[in-house]
Amino acid sequence: MSVTVRGTRSNPGRIRSCCRPRPGVALLALLALSACGPKGQQVEGDGWRSQVKELRIALITLADSDTGESISVDPFQHYMERATGIPVRTRQVGDIYTSSIQALSSGQVDIAILAGGGYVNVREQVGDLVTPLLVRLGAHGEPGYYSSLIVKADSPYHSLADLKGKSLAVVDYNSTSGYLMPMHAMRQKGIVPETYFAKIGVAGGHAQVVTAVNTGQYDAGWTLSSSGTPEVGFAMTTWRQMEGQGMIARGAIRDIWDVGPVPNTAFVMRTDRPQELQDLARGAIAAIPYDAPDAFEALGSLPGATYRAGDNSMFAAIVKLRQEAISNQRAGARRPN
220 vs 117, more confident = 220
**C-beta atoms surrounding 209 within 10 Å:** 31
Task: Give the model confidence (pLDDT) of 249-278 as tens digits.
Answer: 999 999 999 998 888 889 999 999 999 999
Running DSSP on this structure, what letter comes out for residue 274? B
DSSP H helices, 215-304, are 238-244, 275-291, 293-298
Q: Select from 178, 239, 173 the least CA-distant residue to 211.
A: 239
- Rounded Cα–Cα distance for residues 175 and 116 (Å): 8
| Pairing assessment for the beta strands 220-229 and 167-170 based on DSSP bridges | parallel
| Pairing assessment for the beta strands 266-270 and 130-137 based on DSSP bridges | antiparallel
Share of the chain above pLDDT 70, in %: 80
Ordered by where they begin, the domains of the chain are 23-141+264-322 (3.40.190.10), 145-262 (3.40.190.10)
- Rounded Cα–Cα distance for residues 242 and 208 (Å): 11
CB 259 within 8 Å of CB 183: no
- Rounded Cα–Cα distance for residues 129 and 257 (Å): 37
Task: Give the model confidence (pLDDT) of 185-236 as tens digits.
Answer: 999 999 999 999 999 999 988 899 999 999 999 999 999 998 788 888 888 8
Q: Which neighbouring-strand residues pair with 113?
A: 267
User: What's the average model confidence in pLDDT over 87-103?
Assistant: 81
Question: pTM of the predicted model, to two decimals?
Answer: 0.72
45: left (phi over 0), alpha (psi -120 to 50) or beta: left
pLDDT at residue number 106: 94
Which range (53-67, 77-91, 121-135, 148-162) has the least confidence?
A: 53-67
pLDDT at residue number 66: 43
